[in-house]
Amino acid sequence: MRVRPISEKRAWRVNGFLMLLADVILLIAGILLVAWGNPLGVFLFVVIALTVTGFVIVHPNESRVLTFLGRYTGTIRESGFFWANPFAWKSRVSLRVRNFNSGKLKVNDAKGNPIEIGAVVVWRVVDTAKAMFDVDDYKEFVSIQSETAIRALASQYPYDSYEEDVASLRGIPDEVADALKRQVQERLQVAGVEVMEARISHLAYAQEIAQAMLRRQQAEAVIAAREKIVEGAVSMVEMAITHFEQQHLVKLDDERRASMVNNLMVALVAEGDAQPVINTGTLYS
């Protein structure tokens, strides 16, 4: 049998001050009837005692979920003083914005490296009926599902990458935050919870590999920088030779062109200062 999902609806209620005024009138009438020896006054006292349990105060950003004989009868969202079904159970559900801090979770990234990751999820209840009846404990549900989403997200990206077409946790923090928010929202939809923001608060390699990965990062950074330097140097050498030939400043044969390319590459790529060599030979053949 398929269970029909519950959605929030507005509960029946009346102004609490009007009902309080009615109870005062009944109380005065009951006192007068008892004084006159009329047993109806006792009945009025019983009615007043029953109606008193129907008064409810709802604070700002708070709600009351009403259930009567095992059935959900509605939610009071407006703040104020109300009177509702006196026999209904009135559960308090906060509508305030809350934070969930996952702490440090140890997971494996997309490359299998153990990392520590933590996130902060900002959330609030938007459907009190789902929060109360579709999950056992919506606060615990938010905690468990948020941590599950964080672990799943961490396994989809590498910790870091120097390749331009490869996204990483450290390289695209805004995109990662958006992806985390979507994943957490999908998991918490059933609980009537809205995720307002989700963002990585801690990201680091696990302690057992932190030093090794730091050296690896440094090596990868050096390699990536070298690739850029060589690429730029090749472009500059090509531009210089083309300029010389187009302006007819120098006429180079293959041997001299190779020598010039070698000298320019050494000057541009070498880490130390290049030592100039003056060639007094003939440039024109």
Q: Please report the DSSP string for 108-149 in residue order.
A: E-TTS-EEEEEEEEEEEES-HHHHHHTSS-HHHHHHHHHHHH
Q: List 122's β-bridge partners, or say none.
A: 99, 197
Does one domain contain both 171 and 242? no
| Tally of CB atoms within 10 A around 202 | 15
Of the candidates 2, 3, 22, which has an alpha carbon nearest to the alpha carbon of residue 14?
Answer: 22
Structure tokens at 13: 């209620």
User: What is the C-alpha R_g of the chain?
Assistant: 37
Last residue of a domain, one of 66, 94, 122: 94
Residue-wise pLDDT for 212-249, tens only, equals 666 666 666 666 666 676 666 666 666 766 666 666 55
Average predicted confidence (pLDDT) for the chain: 82
Total number of domains constituting the chain: 3
Q: Let me know if residue 9 belongs to a domain.
A: no
Residue 130 lies in a domain: yes
Phi then psi for 183, rounded to 5 degrees?
A: -65, -40
Both 81 and 125 in a single domain? no
Q: Is residue 236 part of a domain?
A: yes
Across 180-193, average pLDDT: 94
The DSSP letter of residue 285 is: -
Q: Is residue 120 part of a domain?
A: yes
Same-domain pairing of 245 and 217: yes
Q: DSSP assignment, residue 253?
A: -
Cα–chain center distance at 174: 10
**Run of H or E residues at 235:** helix 210-246
User: Domain of 155: which CATH number?
Assistant: 3.30.479.30
Determine the Cα–Cα distance for residues 54 and 89; give it in Å rounded to an integer: 10
Residue 222 in tokens: 């050096």
pLDDT tens by residue, 39-71: 888 898 999 999 999 999 999 999 999 999 989
Does 285 fall in a domain?
Answer: no
Give, as one character, the DSSP assignment of residue 69. T
Q: Are 21 and 81 members of one domain? A: yes
Same domain membership, residue 111 and residue 145: yes
Range of the domain at 180: 98-205
Is residue 223 one of the residues assigned to a domain? yes
| Same structural domain, 164 and 179 | yes
pLDDT for position 233? 61
**What pLDDT sits at residue 276?**
55
Q: Is residue 274 part of a domain?
A: no
Identify the domain boundary among 42, 60, 94. 94
Rounded to whole angstroms, how far apart are CA atoms 54 and 76? 13
Sheet containing strand 62-68, strands side by side? 71-76, 62-68, 89-94
Q: What is the dihedral of CA 125, 129, 131, 134, to 10 degrees?
A: -150
Residues 89 and 59 occupy one common structural domain: yes
| Residues 80 and 117 placed together within one structural domain of the fold | no
| Together in a domain, 85 and 102 | no
Q: What percent of the chain has pLDDT over 70?
A: 70
Same-domain status, 164 and 226: no
Beta strands in the chain (DSSP E): 14-15, 55-58, 62-68, 71-76, 80-83, 89-94, 98-101, 105-108, 114-125, 193-205
Residue type, 246: Q
The pLDDT score that the predictor gives to residue 262 is: 62
Per-residue model confidence (pLDDT) at position 89 = 94
